[in-house]
Amino acid sequence: MPDRGPLLPIAGHEGHGTDFSDRVLDYGTSPRNYGSLAVPDGYAKYKGPCGDTVEMFLLVADGRITGASFRTDGCTPAMAAASAVTVMVTGKTLWECVRIDQDAVLAHLGGLPDDSRHCALLAVRTLRRALRSFAKTRKPGAQPAPPE
């Protein structure tokens, strides 16, 4: 998937521009941590029911996320949500990351319209798969295994 860089508002959600928080517009048009990592410790690519895909790359050291990045072919809310997830996980322990859910991402973003809330879930599900991919490389029981 080629890097797309920032999107202009609001791909896939035309007509809802005024419904987005300042942070969604900020992260959605100037995403933090957009791109890939060459040798991630955790990685996942997940396609949501809407057909959009998020990839997430994690670096882990001493039980903490030391770096995170993402790519997506999804809408601007997906861009904002995945960007938010990478900001939220950086510096956190793996156990803290496991507890990041859709509501936490929505709170970080200042909310999303009802028809865009699933975009935050797509980002969270991708994070959990990336954490799980890291956990599978470790000894059983040594790292958290996020729920499906």
Q: What residue ranges bind ligand FES (CB under 6 A)?
A: 12, 48, 50, 52, 74-75, 77-78, 119, 122
Buried b (16+ CB within 10 A) or exposed e, 95-130: eebbebebeebbebbebbeeebbbbbbbbbbbbbbb
Q: How far apart (Å, rounded) are the C-alpha atoms in residues 19 and 113?
A: 6
How far apart are CB 129 and ligand FES at their closest, in Å?
15
Question: Nearest approach, Cβ of 13 to ligand FES (angstroms)?
Answer: 7
Cα separation of 10 and 21, whole Å? 12
Provide, rounded to whole angstroms, the least separation between the CB of residue 111 and ligand FES.
15
**Nearer to ligand FES among residue 1 and residue 50 (C-beta):** 50
Q: Which is nearer to ligand FES, 74 or 144 (CB)?
A: 74
- Is 67 or 113 the residue whose CB approaches ligand FES more closely? 113
